[in-house]
Amino acid sequence: MARVLFLQHDHVSPPGPLAARFAEHGFDPVMFQIVDAANVATPGVDVTLPSFCDFEVVVPLGSPWSVYDPQLEPWFTQEIAELRAADAAGVPVLGVCFGAQALAVAHGGEVHRGAQCEIGWYEVDSVAPELIAPGWWFQYHFDVITPPAAATELATSPVALQAFSLRRNLGVQFHPEATTELLELWLDPVGTAEVIEAGFDPDALRRQMRHHVDANRARAFALVDAFLATIAAT
């Protein structure tokens, strides 16, 4: 059976509906967590990442850290090397939020702190609606991506690039895996303080998530479908 690797950078980044949809396509979802709850404050753990080339698809997920945080060594250097190896071998990669930022850095792009963060539901404009559905997607990021020179920009919000493709790689800044359960993981308890400090209301985020979650699941499924039919099939 084909296997899809979900690279979980921390203990609160489950793949949610993404894993479910890959499974429906016949993939065996494999989870690999880098940093456990005990090491969140000191994430530079000594770990050997699996070879991305041993999988048919790789999905690096989100993270509470920035890709330029020196605390992430030595494992982040490994991740960049594995993303480059996967690209060279033609292994399709779907990077989500931090995963998209890592993809950009691996292939010559840049990531920096944005002038404005996005937390909550934001409307995304897409020039490739068959791949990235325009409309409402959940965001939780403080950094913005400058894509690799050879990449194709697919979607934007007023604040940041939201999706790009490069060969068999697709990066999305938003969180298609968002669910009510995932939001509670992010808000417990450090995230709540971070959200409030950024000027957002955690209870409003909860209400909005309940409103959007079913539609988001369908959109996440459609994203996986399109990724497999286009990016991964090239």
Active site residue 73: no
For residues 20-51, b (16+ Cβ closer than 10 Å) or e, as one string? ebbeeeebebeeebbbeeeeeeebeeeeeeee
DSSP 3-state assignment of 157? coil
Active site residue 177: yes
Question: 9, 79, 97, 117: which one is catalytic?
Answer: 97
84: left (phi over 0), alpha (psi -120 to 50) or beta: alpha
DSSP 3-state assignment of 74? coil
8 Å CB contact between 202 and 187: yes
Question: 9, 177, 194, 212: which one is catalytic?
Answer: 177
E-strand stretches of 42-196: 57-60, 93-96, 110-126, 135-146, 152-156, 161-166, 169-172
DSSP 3-state assignment of 144? strand
Active site residue 53: no
Question: 9, 107, 141, 175: which one is catalytic?
Answer: 175
Is the sign of the CA dihedral 27, 28, 33, 34 positive or negative? negative
Hey, which residues are catalytic here? 97, 175, 177
